[in-house]
Structure formats: structure tokens, C-alpha cells
């Protein structure tokens, strides 16, 4: 049973969409590993929250990973131009790991080309991008399609985290 949850970071992440899952998943007994383009660099949220990256995408051993979490804000727009970060999401998806993205985090799923024919949601500003990438957009607080979990906005965080934890437990039983 993999006990690591990867939390992707880049500057301008939506503060509560990173810190709420971080502490919720720690509380549930998982190790949360922060991953950014540069190991040791401190990334700053939209509202000033600093979070340091413990590892880079290349350092991640997917055998130890239960889920990859992509917070929103402006960070996903920056993350999606980093091929190592995109490859981590794609490889995790291909390895049947849980991929959980909230708000603008769906941009990373678009870039990794993993939402074709999948039900997804995200912040309304990226709904067209999700549809154009082949996703079947639904305006709901949380949408689960196989190993992909998506949510729209910070108010959806309780349902987002609950669904992610439920999915991890379900996958652990397989």
C-alpha cells in the first residue's frame, strides 16, 4: 500500500487548495510530498503562503505514490510548460494512480492528455479547455471518473478531499 501523496507546487498556487489537502491528508495518515520544478525552492501562493518543494518530478518513485494532487490558482498554467511535471502526471495516470485536480489544476490534466472521454469538472474559466481536450464537463462540486478526481473551486475542498481519500482506500483494497 503506497502511503505517499504528491502535492504539485509552482508559484501562484491557490493557497487553500494546497494547504487544506496537505493537512487533511496528513491527518488521514499519509505522507504528503511537495513537488516542484526545483527541489528546495519555496513557492509562494496567490495570497502569500510559502511552501517549499521537497522533491522534483524526476525524483518521484511512483511505486510509493497513492495519489497526485494538483491545486489551482495560476500555478497550473506555469506547471504545464514544465515537461517533467507534465510527465509525472501522465506517468502517474498510466500507472493507475489517483489524479486529483481542483480549480485550474485541470490544465495539467489537459496538458498530460488524460481526460479524453472522461467526466471532469474545474473552474468555469477552463471549462472550454477541458471540453476541447475531450473531457465531458460537468458543473458539480466533485466529479470522479475512474482514477481522476476533479473539483471546481475552494468551496469544494471538503468534497474533493473526502473523495480523494475514499478513492485511495478503494484502490488499496484492489
Give pTM, 2 decimals: 0.97
Q: What is the pLDDT of residues 122-147, one digit of tens each?
A: 999 999 999 999 999 999 999 999 99
Q: Are strands 148-151 and 142-145 parallel, antiparallel or unpaired?
A: antiparallel
Residue 23 CB partners (closer than 8 Å, separation 6+): none
Instruction: For residues 19-37, give the mean pLDDT.
Output: 97
If phi > 0 it is left, if psi is from -120 to 50 it is alpha, else beta; for residue 164 that is alpha
pLDDT exceeds cutoff 70 at 155:
yes
Q: How big is the CA angle at 29 (ends 28 and 32), to the nearest 5 degrees?
A: 95
Burial of 27 (0-12, 13-18, 19+ CB in 10 A): exposed
> Do residues 41 and 53 make contact, with C-beta atoms less than 8 angstroms apart?
yes
Q: Residues with catalytic annotation?
A: 103-104
Q: Domains in the chain and their CATH numbers?
A: 4-172 (3.40.50.880)
Residue-wise pLDDT tens digits, 35-60: 999 999 999 999 999 999 999 999 99
Amino acid at each position: 500500500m503506497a502511503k505517499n501523496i504528491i502535492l504539485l507546487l509552482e508559484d501562484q498556487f491557490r493557497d487553500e487548495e494546497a494547504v487544506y489537502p496537505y493537512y487533511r491528508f496528513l491527518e488521514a495518515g499519509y505522507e504528503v510530498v511537495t513537488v516542484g520544478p526545483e527541489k528546495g525552492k519555496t513557492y509562494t501562493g496567490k495570497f502569500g503562503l510559502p511552501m517549499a518543494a521537497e522533491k522534483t518530478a524526476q525524483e518521484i518513485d511512483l511505486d510509493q505514490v497513492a495519489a497526485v494532487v494538483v491545486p489551482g490558482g495560476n500555478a497550473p498554467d506555469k506547471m504545464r510548460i514544465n515537461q517533467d511535471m507534465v510527465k509525472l502526471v501522465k506517468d502517474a495516470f498510466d500507472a493507475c494512480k489517483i489524479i486529483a485536480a481542483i480549480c485550474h489544476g485541470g490544465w495539467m490534466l489537459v496538458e498530460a492528455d488524460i481526460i479524453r472521454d472522461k467526466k471532469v469538472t474545474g473552474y468555469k474559466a477552463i471549462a472550454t479547455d477541458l471540453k476541447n481536450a475531450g473531457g465531458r464537463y460537468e458543473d458539480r462540486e466533485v466529479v470522479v471518473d475512474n482514477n481522476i478526481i476533479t473539483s471546481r473551486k475552494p468551496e469544494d475542498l471538503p468534497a474533493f478531499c473526502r473523495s480523494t481519500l475514499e478513492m485511495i482506500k478503494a484502490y488499496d483494497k484492489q
